[in-house]
Homo-oligomer: A and B are copies of this chain.
Amino acid sequence: MSAASAGEAGNSGKDPGSGEDRMIARLFEPLARHPGALGLKDDAAFLDLPPGHQLVLTKDALVAGVHFFSDDPPASIARKAMRVNLSDLAAKGAAPLGVLLAIAIPPDMSATALEDFARGLGEDAERYGAPLLGGDTVRTPGPFTVSITALGSVPTGEMVRRTSAPPGAAIVVTGTIGDAALGLQLRLDPGRPGFAALDGAQRAFLTERYLHPRPRLVLAASLRAHALAAMDVSDGLIGDLAKLLAASHIAGELDAARVPLSDAARAAIAAEPALLETALTGGDDYELLAVMAEAHLDAFHARATAAGIGATVIGRTSAGEGLVVRDERGAPLAFARSSFSHF
C-alpha cells in the first residue's frame, strides 16, 4: 500500500513521506498481519491458494453520497465495503482469503475519521477471516471512495454460478428480506406512517440492517453442497431473482406472501402496505438467493436454522422465461418500472 498526496497529475506519491501520509500508513499497517501482506511495505502481496482450490474474485466500489451517507460512521462505511464484497464470496460458496483496499480521501476527511475507518476494517478482517493484503491510498478532490477486492477460494470447479439454475426447482432465500431497504427509507423519510407504527427497537433494527450488511459466509459451504445456482440479494429480491432466472434461461414464480419478513418489516408494511414494494425491490439485503432441488431443501434449511439465519422457500423455477410475482390470492403483482419491470 502506498500513500500518495494530491497535487498535479504527476506520479502517485510526490510526497510519500509527509506526516499525514505516514499517519495513514500507520493506521493500516497493523491490520496487515497476514505474512503475504509484507506489512504493506512492498509493491505487492503474495498469497498461497489451498491445493485443489480455485480463486474466487470480486470487486465492489462505494462512493460517499451514492452508496452510503457521507455522515455514516466511518467504521460502518468500512464494514459495508467489506461486507458487500464478502457477501459476493458467500453467494459463490467461497471462503475468504483476504482483501485489497483502495481509498480515495477527500481533503476534509479528518484523521479521526480515518482511524475509525481503519478500526472498522480491521475488526471485520478479523471477524470474517479476510485479512488486509494490500492496496492503495490516494487523495481526491471528490467524495470519499472505497474500492475493495475480495479474494476467496472454492474446491476447483465448485463455485456456485448464477447461470446454472434448472427449471422445476425451489427458490430459496436466507434470513429476512427488505429490512435494509426499509432502514434506508426510515432514514430518508422517518415520518412515513409505516415507521410511525414501529417502536424504538424496531426502528433501530431496520437502521442497523441498512448500515451493516451481514455476509452469510457461514452458509457458503452448505450452499456449495446444496444449491444449483445462487447470487446475493443486493439490488432487490425481485430484480435479482429476475436476473438469476434470465441468466439461467428459465422462468420462475415468486409467492410474495412467503417472502420472509422480520417483525419490524411486517409491522411497517401492515401500517403502510406500499412499503411491501420497498421491501421486495429495495435492495441492500445481502441475503443468499439460491435455487435448489427439493431433495436438498431440508439439509440447507437445517444448516441455515442452526446458524441462526434461517432459509425459506419463496417460489419455484419453470421452463420458459420471465418472473411472475403473485400475491396471497395468486394474482400477479406489478411493480414500478424503476425497480422491476425493466427485466
A residues lining the B interface (CB < 8 Å): 2, 4, 6-18, 36, 38, 41-49, 54-69, 72, 84, 88-89, 91-92, 94, 100-104, 133-136, 138-143, 145, 147, 149, 151-152, 154, 156, 159, 161-163, 180-181, 184, 188, 231-232, 234-236, 239, 243, 247, 282-284, 338-339, 342-343
Contacts and interface: CB of A to CB of B under 8 A. Distances in A.
B63 A55 contact: no
A38 B232 CA distance: 16
19 contacts: A8-B188, A9-B66, A9-B184, A11-B236, A11-B283, A12-B60, A12-B234, A12-B235, A14-B339, A44-B57, A46-B92, A58-B100, A60-B102, A61-B102, A100-B149, A136-B147, A141-B142, A141-B143, A147-B147
Contacts of A102: 59-61, 102, 147
Nearest to A144: B142
Contacts of A36: 54, 57
A133 B55 CA distance: 11
Nearest to A19: B342
Contacts of A180: 11
B338 A57 contact: no
A39 to B, nearest CB: 9
A52 to B, nearest CB: 10
A156 B58 contact: no
Contact of A62 (B12, B43, B72): B12
A55 B59 contact: no
A285 to B, nearest CB: 9
Given A55-B55, A60-B136, A147-B102, A7 B161 contact: no
Contact of A69 (B9, B45, B138): B9
